[in-house]
Chains A and B, each alone.
Chain A
Amino acid sequence: MTASTLSAIGPLVALAVAVLVVMIALAIHRSRGLTFALTLAGLAAAAVTLRHAPMAPAIDAVPLVVFDAAARFYTGLILAATAAIAVLAFGDAEWQGERPEEIDLLLLLAALGSVVLVAAVHFVALFLGLEILSVSLYALIAYPRTHAASLEAGVKYLVLAAGSAAFLLFGMALVYAETGTMAFAGLTMMPSVADATVALAGVGLIVVGIGFKLALVPFHLWTPDVYEGAPAPVAAFIATVSKGAVLALLVRYAAIIDVRSRPSLFMTFAVLAVASMIAGNVLALLQDNVKRLLAYSSIAHLGYLIVAFLASGALASTAIAFYLSAYFVTMIGAFGVVTVLSQERGAGTGSLDEYRGLALRRPWIATVFAAMLLSLAGIPLTAGFVGKLYVTVAAGGAALWTLLVVMMLTSGLGLFYYLRVIVAMFMQPTDSAVATLAAIRVPVAAGLTLAALAVALVWLGVYPEPFIQVIRATVGGG
């Protein structure tokens, strides 16, 4: 193993070392401040190695992962998102007094798993990354051990994620039986004709496993309960980093097997997208809990992303990368507000009633939250608007008119529930809400993170050109 090999997988090495350092530090001296600082340092180190790792051509240092341009972009996104979530979690009083130091460790581990996923070019790496990610998430979701809702969510996620992992493994085995290789590159040899029943079944099972991670309908049943039960920053991690990493992997996988030339696979994803867009938006209408509402909203958004994914091609890759970045900023921002407001109330709340009158008591937080919700709805001046346009252009370019019409109609419906939350924030508050809202003190770090996310949101919505150039230079022209 040479220095160049190491630098080719630099981010992974840096994150793994950071995990070890945090572990050792915890054994020597338990201090939340110390682990938090070490975690941020680890993420920063990974980002630096990302910059300094050799550019193209990617070195096949190890057969499992490749840090090509797309993987670099998504790794950067994951590192930034993890850092933001770590800051939010640090200021989250909800966990204080429960030995909170391991939260940072688990977040680092989860980030490591996600980075493995976005760089994976081999089924083994896929499974490895997915398991590192999932196991860290089980612990993170159930971290507030005294809260029944969190424990329930953790167990639910554990059982269903383990089940979906079994599907995934079996699917990989079937594909391996057909092609004789576990590298993605070998998938091109996979027969495209429908008579290859074994391979088709294998791919189908893999789709189930991926669909679970992305929470596409009908594999979404865990989502609202887990989002509601998990601490808000963890829910933000599941909604963004975990899903984003799997989607990046899916894009890589699809580029190899060429989804558009396989009608059965194309139809499967089209049906999943339509089901997610419709069910996500319709069910979100019925929610009275902001966390559950965001859960269904994230289901719908993954549906839109699958539409872009089906468009395939360079333009679609750019659209996905942009939309995903906008979605990261927005979701972390929205959950950041939920985090800030959920202090001193324990995990598992987030009822819409608690948001009544927020605009009068905490105008700045309400403004940030409103901006995040409007971005999710795709209103101008926010990142979500440009993202929606990009996805529309990509899907239009691939002539996916039916999917586009479904997307537009359901996202029109979607506006309705985002506005409901905003209207509630502008209503006169209930007495109990006044008391709670008055008691909240926003931690400085969390406040700054929210402000930075809001600035990023507007910046991407008003002048996205520089960021689009970054995406085109990495993920692919178009």
Chain B
Amino acid sequence: MTLVWLVVVPFVAGAAAWVADRWSHAWPRWIALAGIGIDLAIAVTLWFGTSGAALVPGAGPWLAEIDVRWIDALGIHLHFAIDGLSLLLVLLTGLLGVLAVAASWTEIQDRVGAFHFQLLWILSGLIGVFTAMDLFLFYFFWEMMLVPMFFLIGIWGHERRIYAATKFFLFTQVSGLLMLIAIVALYIVHGRATGTYTFDVTALAGTPMSSTMSWWLMLGFFGAFAVKLPMVPLHTWLPDAHTEAPTAGSVVLASLLLKTGAYGMLRFVLPLFRDAAASFAPVAIVLGVIGVVYGAALAFGQTDLKRLVAYTSVSHMGFVLIGIFAGTTIALQGAILQILCHGLSTGALFILAGAMQERLHTREMGRMGGLWADAPRMGGMTLFFALASMGLPGLGNFIAEFLVLAGTYRVSPIATIVASTGLIVSTVYALWLVQAAFQGPRHGTARLRDLGVREMATMAVLVAALVWIGLYPQSVVDTASPAIARITSAPRVASRAP
């Protein structure tokens, strides 16, 4: 029942926030904070309650599970379950959800209720995606969060918001619909072969099918996840959407929505289509490497602060793609750590970029410069997260990228070597970002207001989380290891590689 609450609480809180807007603009903010805060609390309780004993006896691989018949005529179940992998992502969603509400506290003044309604329905959809173990239910949430995201960008975004929102929507929607065909096809193939028509992920994992069929279905799923991840060359929606979205929208997009792509690959593509995924792995790894280098190179060329951070996402998520398809235990651990650390560090950078835009009314780095004198706290935080994102030892991102590279070396040394160059470029853009915005001569005379208590508290949480993962990554790895073990216990995913 806990899992149902995880989805329902933000859902109801979102509706309540909208209604409460009639009375006061403060109400929606507090309701939203409470709604997602409850989720975070539930997730933390689950984490502490189950650490140590990784598996609940008799509950199979799940830490918690609920399975109720929903649409019987088609064999659809309301099947939520959570394992270590899902739990980590739900924790991330809860944490960044709280921070996204906090980051919008002063930025959003227009239609406050509707804004928090959209934000909370996205979060509810995300938690649904991370816990649904019925493919139909999964698709239900996958689609459900798109419309609020569209409005979040399209209504509260910046100058080119309609263009960005539409582009985001078309990319994700069309790829999602093709995935729906793949889901239905898998359902039919399984039903024909076994006589049981079901959307249950565990049952579908053992579907006997021809390798051609498996290949096509795998592509259907992979396409939808690759758009979200995003994988080069399907990434072009991302810089626009991230740049034009309001701060909370950018945070949710970069830190959470992209993770649904990685999660989908780990949860569905690898277990459902083992052989097809294995033969596809070289292609995916090459595309991942291209993403790492290309994203980093483009990030260096940007003058718009948010656009720069957006391209670094393309680069960092490339590591996730490499790690997933390298398929070794170490690489998978790295990929999962990277999912979390990228979520934390990029979320922080977008919050900082949003804070700067709120004060300076520009995102152009050419019009910044010398801000450190006025805003040392903001400068220090930006430096910290820029260093985290380039992979400074002692912080989570370093461990994550190191593990991905170490795990991939056994599979493909060349890919590892090329991907490592991405790390060098990332050093350049991270330092360039700090240098352009905070060092050098000052532009203009207006004094910049430094980060306030609310913003510093937000930053402190993220700093603590990154340092924690950087110094004690085992705590996270332990939580995820049963899920990783189930992925790798299958025949090696990557049999050949370039």
Contacts and interface: CB of A to CB of B under 8 A. Distances in A.
Interface of A: 318, 374, 379-381, 385-386, 389-390, 392-393, 396-397, 401, 404-405, 408-409, 411-413, 415-416, 419, 422-423, 426, 463-465, 468-469, 472
Contact of B173 (A318, A380, A412, A423): A412
Contact of A464 (B71, B154, B155): B71
Interface string B178-221: 10110011011000000000000000000000000000000000
Given A379-B143, A404-B181, A465 B71 contact: yes
Nearest to B125: A380
Interface string B125-169: 000000000001000110110110011001100000010001001
B246 to A, nearest CB: 15
Contacts of B162: 423
Nearest to B191: A397
B432 interface: no
B188 A396 contact: yes
Given A385-B143, A393-B184, A415-B169, 19 more contacts: A380-B141, A380-B143, A380-B144, A381-B144, A389-B184, A392-B180, A393-B187, A396-B185, A396-B187, A401-B181, A408-B174, A409-B174, A415-B173, A416-B166, A419-B150, A419-B154, A422-B151, A423-B154, A472-B73
Given A393-B187, A404-B181, A423-B162, A412 B170 contact: yes
B180 A469 contact: no
A390 B76 CA distance: 12
Contacts of B146: 379
Interface of B: 70-74, 114, 136, 140-141, 143-144, 146-147, 150-151, 154-155, 162, 166, 169-170, 173-174, 177-178, 180-181, 184-185, 187-188
A393 B184 CA distance: 6
A404 B155 CA distance: 33
Contacts of A426: 114, 151, 155
Contact of A465 (B72, B140, B178, B188): B72
Chain A interface, >50% SS class: helix
Given A389-B136, A396-B188, A465-B71, A408 B141 contact: no
A393 B74 contact: yes
Nearest to A462: B70
Nearest to A468: B73
A463 B177 CA distance: 22
Contacts of B184: 389, 392-393, 396
A385 B142 CA distance: 12
A472 B72 CA distance: 12
Given A380-B144, A381-B144, A423-B162, A405 B151 contact: no
A404 B180 CA distance: 10
B474 to A, nearest CB: 38
B356 to A, nearest CB: 27
A188 B298 CA distance: 66
Contacts of A409: 174, 177
Give the 5 A-B CB pairs with smallest separation, nearest first. Answer: A408-B177, A412-B174, A380-B144, A396-B184, A468-B73
Contacts of B174: 408-409, 412
Contacts of B151: 422, 426
A318 B71 CA distance: 14
Nearest to B146: A379
Contacts of A392: 180-181, 184
B483 to A, nearest CB: 26
A465 B71 CA distance: 5
A386 B71 contact: yes
A385 B173 CA distance: 13
- Centre residue among A318, A401, A415 by max chain B CB count within 10 A: A415
B73 A412 contact: no
Nearest to B70: A465
Contact of A405 (B154, B166, B181): B181
A17 to B, nearest CB: 37
Contact of A408 (B71, B144, B181): B181
7 contacts: A385-B143, A401-B185, A413-B170, A416-B169, A465-B72, A465-B73, A472-B73
A406 B20 CA distance: 43
Contacts of A463: 70
A408 B147 CA distance: 17
A469 B73 contact: yes
Contacts of A472: 73
A464 B72 CA distance: 9
